[in-house]
Amino acid sequence: MTPLIEFRGVARRYGQGEAEVRALDGVDLIIEKGEFVAIMGPSGSGKSTAMNIIGCLDRPTAGQYLFEGTPVEHLTPDARALLRRHYLGFVFQGFNLLARTSALENVELPLVYKGLPRAERDALARAALAKVGLAGREGHQPSQLSGGQQQRVAIARALVSNPMVILADEPTGNLDSQRGHEIMQLLQALNRDEGITIVMVTHEADIAAYARRLIVFTDGRITSDEAAREGQPA
């Protein structure tokens, strides 16, 4: 079976000569469909660079990144944008919601870019909000929602395009402990019940424990890759 995500000797370097920084240094990585992977590592370890390459927000200096067997570095910018739009969903630490826009309109935004008609956008966005437990909050603006609810809107926005992969960058970083664990239980359920592949960057071990697999980066290389400890209920 072709892996969903594969790195073959991926390197990412910035600068030249003595100023060169090796953010990634020959990384080999395979992530299969349906996995829930947590990526950890100290600042500057390469974890965010790896996430950016997976999300087609950056490109390797050397090596290959393959998505379902397709070498992504050979795609045109437009083709990479289409890959992001149709196959990837993004969840960020800061929610990234439009402030004066309703929850429904925030969730609809990826569908606007896809050119879907208004009625279809509305139905899909309402279904996505219901899936994350926000039915009845469609008309609320971010300022009328708690931090946990705002992150649920962001997850609904990631879900609405029916992506193969959700990329979550410190999804609980702006939340208190209780709300953070609620968000992780939601992501865990989406992985388990919907079969969505989740790749998450976090610096918190208790959050990483929700994943099934833990990858640790150090100095641009993978130094550990193993099943996550059974720290949270599945």
For residue 213, name the pLDDT band (cuts at 50, 70, 90). very high
Boundaries of every domain in the chain = 5-96+162-227
Q: What is the pLDDT of residue 15?
A: 86
Q: What is the pLDDT of residue 113?
A: 86
The answer regarding whether domain 5-96+162-227 maps to CATH 3.40.50.300 reads yes
For residue 229, name the pLDDT band (cuts at 50, 70, 90). low
Cβ-in-10-Å burial (0-12, 13-18, 19+) of 20 comes to exposed
- pLDDT tops 50 at residue 234: no
Q: Which of 96-100, 103-107, 125-129 has the lowest mean pLDDT?
A: 96-100
For residue 231, name the pLDDT band (cuts at 50, 70, 90). very low
Of 44, 46, 180, 161, the closest CA to residue 110 belongs to 161
* Span 34-44, average pLDDT: 95
Contacts of 177 (CB under 8 A, 6+ apart): none
Q: Kindly report, residue by residue over 166-179, the tens digit of the pLDDT.
A: 999 999 999 999 99
Query: Side-chain half-sphere of 105: how many Cα atoms within 13 Å?
Result: 10
